Structure 1
Amino acid sequence: MQTGLSIGDFARLTHLSVRTLRRYHEAGLLVPAEVDGSTGYRYYAADQIPTAQVIHRLRDLDVPRATVRRILDTADTTTRSELVAAHLQHLESELDRTRAAVRSLRRLLAPEPAPVHVEVRSVPRVSVAAVEDDVALDDVLSWYAGAMAELDATLTDTGGTPGGVYDNALFEVGRGHVLVHLPSDDPPTRGRVHPVELPAVELAVATHVGDHDDIDVTYGEVGAWVVANALSVAGPVRETYLVGPRDTADVSQWRTEIGWPVFAVAGSART
């Protein structure tokens, strides 16, 4: 005589459907205490109820089945907590990306978006301390953080504004030359840091406000303005980080100038 809980009873107690319980069994997440050899009926023990509830919560958080299995198989509470914390951090990152996408969509779909202010600016030749390399587009943010940290450590007395130069190939094929820099009258050569002379250039400049999750929208607005004015020329895009993560953790305060290379033109600012 069977003394365990039938799969139907167990489903009602745990609020997990029979179909879900069967799927958990097949995946090895929650194996019944007993399976009748002749009928194939599954029976569960009462002490499996908390395990089922834990699995339910983890799956509600979209924890992958393989990770759920690792959590259940780990007796050490610290390791369990670390596994759960790592997934929660991943969820928070995904939530941030979702919020950023929503902000971008609202900006793009606004019935009358505010026109971007574009200024045509002559930038003179300048001496900088730089770190540069060929970088994949997906790795730019992490590479930039490391390069800027090295520049800050090398030029401890600089109060200049950092900037970046981004090769066209980075956006066109997903990998290209990237250079980040700080101004310096006498740039040192130390580690990856070395002197660079940035050439004079004419740029169509607009300021992106906030974090960089939707900076592509501002890029698009600048590019559209340049095309409309028939000023575009080939050349790397420049960014100037007027206010950024080095200055404040409040992303709403960040200000990034985007400089698009253009033909030399007479006159001052245009909009």
Structure 2
Amino acid sequence: MDGLMPIGAFARLARLTVKAVRHYDAEGLLAPAHVDPHSAYRYYRADQVRTATTIAVLRGMDVPLPVVREVLAAPDTDAVSSVLAREREKLREELARREEVLRNLDGLLRRPERVQYDVAITERDAQGVTGVSGVVRAASIDDDTGALWREACALTTSRTPLVAVFPLDLADEFETLVGLPGPASEGAHAVLPAGPWATTLHVGPYPELPMAYTALLEHVRERGHVPLGPVTETYLAGPDAVEAEDLVTRLAVALTP
């Protein structure tokens, strides 16, 4: 067959293993130019070597398969650059998240007392909260709540710490209110019920809040109380005033009377 080479010769020319070439075929990235109907032997053209090496380079950098397919299907170099630039931005954002996790872990190592929480149960009067509400995704709870917090900040000049009101049980998406506490009047967007509330204080980055919630709710359970909800976060020292390690957040959950 003129212009075609068997898979072994093709793999050698592309500096790949035969297994890798077969895998790229199985993934729909590099189909053979011809497959013998009797022997099932695969044959490739010389101009497919560049495609093979491109796949190998991208996969070697852990570029996802869908992105590799986009690169191979791109009509010109500008389109290729656009695809790779988009992937680079995603990696940059992921790296920033990873670096934040490392900083948080370093903070825990330096200050292990953060994971110890004192919980108090006190009686409260009914209280209103007036502010902005929106849908928060459980998978992006910090980012989405932060966006609501910034929106609420922009609407007030008060120095009173903002409060976020969450449901007791989280779903994939749920409504959250962030605003100023005040009287339980008809004009309030939400009214926090009167009665017993369990509270604790968290000092540190928001991604560590689940530890505080666990301590709070475990304290409630161990003492035979029943959480009623809602759950609130009061941002006593927010990201506009302090660094992540020094954020101060009061968590509270309403209990059944």
| Counterpart pick for 1:220 among 196, 201, 214 | 214
- 3-state SS of the aligned residue for 1:158? coil
Separation of aligned partners in 2, 1:98 and 1:7: 43
Seq. identity, %: 30
Please list, as runs of the form range in 1=range in 2, the aligned pairs for 1:188-203 lying within 5 A after superposition: 196=190, 198-200=192-194, 202-203=196-197
Which residue in 2 is equivalent to 1:182? 180
- C-alpha change, 1:137 and 1:113, in structure 2 (3 Å) is closer
Separation of aligned partners in 1, 2:148 and 2:197: 24
| Counterpart pick for 1:204 among 178, 193, 198 | 198
Contact map agreement 1:134 1:177 (CA 8 A) in 2? yes
Which residue in 1 is equivalent to 2:244? 251
Q: Cα RMSD between the aligned structures?
A: 4.1
- 3-state SS of the aligned residue for 1:234? strand
**Which residue identity is paired with 2:244?**
V
**Which residue identity is paired with 1:129?**
T
Contact map agreement 2:134 2:148 (CA 8 A) in 1? no
Contact map agreement 1:121 1:202 (CA 8 A) in 2? yes
- C-alpha change, 1:98 and 1:61, in structure 2 (3 Å) is farther
Which residue in 2 is equivalent to 1:165? 165
Contact map agreement 2:142 2:207 (CA 8 A) in 1? no
Separation of aligned partners in 2, 1:152 and 1:115: 30
Structure with the bigger percentage of strand: 2
Contact map agreement 1:120 1:204 (CA 8 A) in 2? yes
Which residue in 1 is equivalent to 2:235? 241
Deviation at 1:239, TM superposition (A): 0.8
- C-alpha change, 1:41 and 1:263, in structure 2 (3 Å) is closer
Please list, as runs of the form range in 1=range in 2, the aligned pairs for 1:83-162 lying within 5 A after superposition: 83-91=83-91, 96=97, 100=101, 115-120=116-121, 125-126=126-127, 128-132=129-133, 137-138=138-139, 140-141=141-142, 143-155=144-156, 157-162=157-162
- 3-state SS of the aligned residue for 1:29? coil
Residue-pair matches, total: 247
Deviation at 1:8, TM superposition (A): 1.5
Contact map agreement 1:97 1:213 (CA 8 A) in 2? no
Question: Which shows bigger deviation, 194-203 or 51-60?
Answer: 194-203
- C-alpha change, 1:195 and 1:4, in structure 2 (3 Å) is closer
**Which residue identity is paired with 2:235?**
Y
Unaligned 5+ residue runs, structure 1?
265-271
Separation of aligned partners in 1, 2:233 and 2:138: 15
- C-alpha change, 1:115 and 1:214, in structure 2 (3 Å) is closer
Question: Which shows bigger deviation, 140-149 or 66-75?
Answer: 140-149
Deviation at 1:164, TM superposition (A): 1.0
**Which residue identity is paired with 1:24?**
Y
**Which residue identity is paired with 2:234?**
T
Deviation at 1:68, TM superposition (A): 1.6
Which residue in 2 is equivalent to 1:18? 18
Q: Per-residue CA shift, 1:227-250, capped at 9, x if unaligned? A: 3334454231111123444446x5
| Counterpart pick for 2:223 among 198, 220, 229 | 229
Deviation at 1:114, TM superposition (A): 5.1
